[in-house]
Amino acid sequence: MKKSICLYFQVHQPTRLRLYRFFDIGKDSHYYDDYANRTILKRVAQKCYLPMNELLLQAIKANKGKFKVAFSISGSAMEQFDRYAPEVLDSFRALADTGCVEFLSETYYHSLSSLASTQEFEHQVQMHKQAIEHYFGVTPKTFRNTELIYSDAIGAEVRELGFTTMLTEGARHIMAWKSPNFIYNNDFKSDLKLLLRNYQLSDDIAFRFSDQNWQEWPLTAEKYISWIKASEGDIVNLFMDYETFGEHQPGTCGIFDFMKAFASLGSKDGALQFVTPAEAAQKLESVGDLSVMQPISWADEERDLTAWLGNDLQQDAFNKLYRLEEKLSILNDPSLWADFGHLQESDHLYYMCTKFFSDGEIHQRFNPYSTPYEAFINYMNVLSDFIIRVNNAIAEK
């Protein structure tokens, strides 16, 4: 049997908050930095989304459909594409039309709702499904939770929503002696298949590709494919942020040439085949249950939730936000629901992370704030105004 390669890319852009001061509370309820959102989105579109989408499209055509990939695009990103760069949506539609690209389901707002509220989680999954159908004309079959967050309980809930395949992290502390290069199934729902990220091979591209101090630098497509073929198991799942290409790893380092060569050589190698997650689940049988009692993610060395909920600041913001859900359900105001959604974006909590140990540099790289405390103060000022709006609306009802 040929060894399968499953390439999956996460596409997300947060709705960044403007500098919101204490004196704005109760006076100005526009929370977003429209200039930063537009400027960053357009920059990343030119450096990553447009050239990489074109590269993938040409790779699919050149290899006669043997090259396949999957995307999960957050609702927040789709909104910004629609507003600031509709040509990016067109380029994703062109990929959808090939039939070689799978679009995955996730939470609409790239949120942590799976940890807070079953009702809100299900609501966002349905919102995201409708958005994918609207923009790309396909219905997602595979689920990928925000930041690959997964546990037995979350997986069981995802199966109840109708999905039979889910992506997560092949974290060392839950794998023990097992390899991520096989299909597993949920411990509670045996008919939910799990595809596990091979973090070593994924991070070789996402984090180490341009590092000239890395002992394997420079990474060539030939070398990389030899590693894949030498690895044990049925499937190698390569999951990473799409912004890896051209943004995190600049185009000048050769990342685009590498991917073009990787697609070509992998498609022509008789021992390998590219598959989408849905195809992988259909082709391969599970080798057994995978027990994950506590939630895992793909973040940091710990592969847990501490990037978003590891300190008192983050937990305070998280809890105060989700306490509003019952009142918002009573009001059912579209404007308030939209702000509630954008305030759930996991990035806001990520900016408050105070971990500066093994992964401090990574947290700093994607953080617009000077300190996590600035991020907390700014967010809580916004949340204070939002709470006032919700309470005033309840009083008027």
First vs last C-alpha separation in the chain: 64
Six token digits for residue 346: 């996991």
Instruction: Give the Cβ contact number of residue 267 at 10 Å.
Output: 20
DSSP letters of 177-226? T--SSSEEEESS-TTSEEEEE-HHHHHHHHTTTT-TTSTTPSP-HHHHHH
> For residue 355, which of 311, 315, 304 has the smallest C-alpha distance?
311
Q: What would the two tokens of residue 48 be?
A: 């990553």
Q: Which amino acid is at 250?
A: P
Q: Which two tokens stand for residue 388?
A: 């006032």
- Name the active-site residue from 79, 102, 106, 147: 147
Residue with tokens 């629901």: 337
Pairing of β 245-246 and β 249-250: parallel
DSSP label at residue 9: E
Angle (CA) 195-201-207 rounded to 5° is 115
Do the Cβ atoms of 351 and 369 come closer than 8 Å? yes
Asked about 301 being catalytic, the answer comes back as no
CA 45, CA 60: separation in Å to the nearest integer? 21
Interhelix angle 372-396/334-343, rounded to 10 degrees, is 160
Active-site positions? 147
